[in-house]
Amino acid sequence: MQRMLSGIKPTGELHLGNYIGALRNFVKYQEDYEMYVFIANLHTVTIPQDPKEIHKYLIDAIALYIACGLDKDKATIFLQSDVLEHANLGFILSCHSYEGELDRMTQYKDRKQKGETGLSVGFYTYPTLMAADILMYDADFVPVGDDQKQHVELARDIAERMNNRYGQMFKVPKPLIAEVGARIMDLQDPARKMSKSDQSDKGCIFLLDSPKTARKKIMSAQTDSVNIVQFDTENQPGISNLLTIYAALKEITIKEAELIFKDYRYGDFKKEVAQEVVELLEKLQSDYTEIINSDIIEKTLTKGKEKAQKIASAKLDQVLTTLGIKI
């Protein structure tokens, strides 16, 4: 069975982009792949965080993983910091990466270009920790949204470099990017992707938003003056984004969604999209409440840690031995 691995960093409440671009796919893949899904909690400390707030996001993220349908008996669901081998391997991989590679990583480059100062060293090197997260498990595929492709590319480059230098050490993984919904855009500014850490939350639908709030956000999403519901990301980015959301949630193609709405006015189209989103949130939130009040999170993480750690510890051992630094 081929292996897959992916994770989400709980730097805020999970949103519809995380669901469509990542989570819903993880749930499908757990049926046919050996699936490893982790909560990237170490990645949250790369930028200053409020510990109380981050703890809530962390618990909510795990509960939402489970509410979305991830199942501890099908997938290995674990907390990154429960498997400390990640940090060890991350250091080793950082010693096999170049400054120029990290300079080019989008998140760091964007912030530097904006003139931000005082970024932590961890923020600069986190892509090498991410490479460790991936390479540790010899995954065949890494299902991610479009924005994360660069990180998987770095992991591939490091793997190839180390394999060439020391002999076969890591499987070189492939990014797996869904055809529909790999980049859900902000509802208010469809030129930017929907993100947890945006200053304004009007353009982002959080999975724990009340149905009323979510409906309102969709109804006030930015559109255009063309007045035809069609997929044209250049001239109608807002409408195209709403079509993508609808198509992804209904599991149909964008073309099929376009056909459904071809004679709709924008207001009526938005109502239909809002209804789909609300139905998803109601289902997720009812399961979330049940999960949060049970011991399922603890049981899931205990089981996940045990399985993930076995693989991680063998891999780290192999790497240390190959590098000649293990006694």
Q: Which residues are catalytic?
A: 112, 193, 196
Closest contact distance (angstroms) between CB of 164 and ligand AQP is: 28
Among 4, 13, 17, 108, binds ligand AQP (CB under 6 A): 17
Could you tell me the two tokens for 125? 């090197």
- Residue 16 CB, nearest approach to ligand AQP (Å): 8
| Among the listed residues 9, 134, 126, the one whose alpha carbon sits nearest the alpha carbon of residue 61 | 9
Burial label for 252, CB within 10 Å (0-12, 13-18, 19+), is: middle
Residue from 4, 21, 63, 66 touching ligand AQP (CB under 6 A): that is: 21
When binding is defined by CB under 6 A, the residue of 86, 196, 215, 217 that contacts ligand AQP is: 196
CA end-to-end span of the chain: 33
| Residue 7, strand partner residues | 38
Stretch that binds ligand AQP, among 3-11, 81-89, 110-118, 284-292 (CB under 6 A): 3-11
In whole angstroms, how close is the CB of 311 to ligand AQP at the nearest point? 21
CB-based contacts of 260, cutoff 8 Å, min separation 6: none
Q: How far is the CB of 23 from ligand AQP (least distance, A)?
A: 8
- Tell me the closest approach of the beta carbon of residue 305 to ligand AQP, in angstroms: 20
Q: Does 183 bind ligand AQP (CB under 6 A)?
A: yes
175 binds ligand AQP per the rule CB under 6 A: no
Q: Is 184 in the site for ligand AQP (CB under 6 A)?
A: yes
Using CB under 6 A as the binding rule, whether residue 90 contacts ligand AQP is answered as: no
Nearer to ligand AQP, 76 or 319 (CB): 76
**Do residues 3 and 33 make contact, with C-beta atoms less than 8 angstroms apart?**
yes
The DSSP H or E segment spanning 256 is helix 254-260
Q: Exposure of 119 by Cβ count < 10 A (0-12 exposed, 13-18 middle, 19+ buried)?
A: middle
Q: Is residue 173 within 8 Å of 135, Cβ to Cβ?
A: yes
Is 195 an interacting residue with respect to ligand AQP (CB under 6 A)? yes
CA 212 vs CA 5, 145, 185: distances in Å: 34, 27, 20
Position of minimal CB gap to ligand AQP: 21
- Taking the C-alpha atoms of residue 262 and residue 257, their distance in angstroms, rounded to an integer, is 9
Contacting residue, 4, 5, 13, 18, with ligand AQP by CB under 6 A: 18
| Residues lying near ligand AQP in the complex (CB under 6 A) | 8-9, 11-12, 17-18, 20-22, 40, 144-145, 147-148, 182-184, 193-197
